[in-house]
């Protein structure tokens, strides 16, 4: 399975942008890049995903390198509620059904937001 590499931790100040990097040099052509985050004492929650093009939603933006070997999750204005562990994971597109379900979470990046 393709793996991702993220910094262990990052810090930001409130209301400043945050760029969370993820390296996935062994990504395959059909892997989607998903980001989840886990707030303290909660289950992970979906943030955003993409394949090749940059993506925006109400929570964040995802910038994907042209060679797809890295991506960056962008929080445009960090708030204290954004303090969480952020996971970048590669998700295989269905291939005969059996490979679909297996997800591999890495260690994630602990984001600390200072008031």
Partner 1 sequence: EAQVTQNPRYLITVTGKKLTVTCSQNMNHEYMSWYRQDPGLGLRQIYYSMNVEVTDKGDVPEGYKVSRKEKRNFPLILESPSPNQTSLYFCASSLVPRTGRRYEQYFGPGTRLTVT
Binding footprint of partner 1 on the chain (CB under 8 A): 30, 32, 34, 36, 42-46, 49, 87, 91-94, 97-98, 100-108
Name the token pair of 42: 């909660």
Judged by beta carbon, residue 83 or residue 89, the one nearer partner 1 is 89
Minimum CB–partner distance for residue 11 and partner 1 (Å)? 20
End-to-end CA distance of the chain: 39
Judged by beta carbon, residue 46 or residue 77, the one nearer partner 1 is 46
> What contacts 101, CB < 8 A, 6 or more positions away?
none
Minimum CB–partner distance for residue 14 and partner 1 (Å)? 26
Judged by beta carbon, residue 16 or residue 103, the one nearer partner 1 is 103
Closest CA to 4 of 74, 97, 103, 81: 103
Judged by beta carbon, residue 61 or residue 105, the one nearer partner 1 is 105
Minimum CB–partner distance for residue 53 and partner 1 (Å)? 13
Calculate the alpha carbon distances from 57 to 4, 54, 97, 105 in Å.
22, 10, 29, 22
């Amino acid at each position: 399975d393709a793996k991702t590499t993220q910094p262990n931790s990052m810090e930001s100040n409130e209301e400043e942008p945050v760029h969370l990097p993820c390296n996935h040099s062994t990504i395959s052509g059909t892997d989607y890049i998903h980001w989840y985050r886990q707030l303290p004492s909660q289950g992970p929650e979906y943030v955003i995903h993409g394949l090749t093009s940059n993506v925006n939603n109400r929570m964040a933006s995802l910038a994907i390198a042209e060679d797809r070997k890295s991506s960056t999750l962008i929080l445009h204005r960090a708030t204290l509620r954004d303090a969480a562990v952020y996971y970048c994971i590669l998700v295989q597109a269905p291939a005969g059904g059996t490979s679909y379900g297996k997800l591999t979470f890495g260690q994630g990046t602990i984001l600390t937001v200072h008031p």
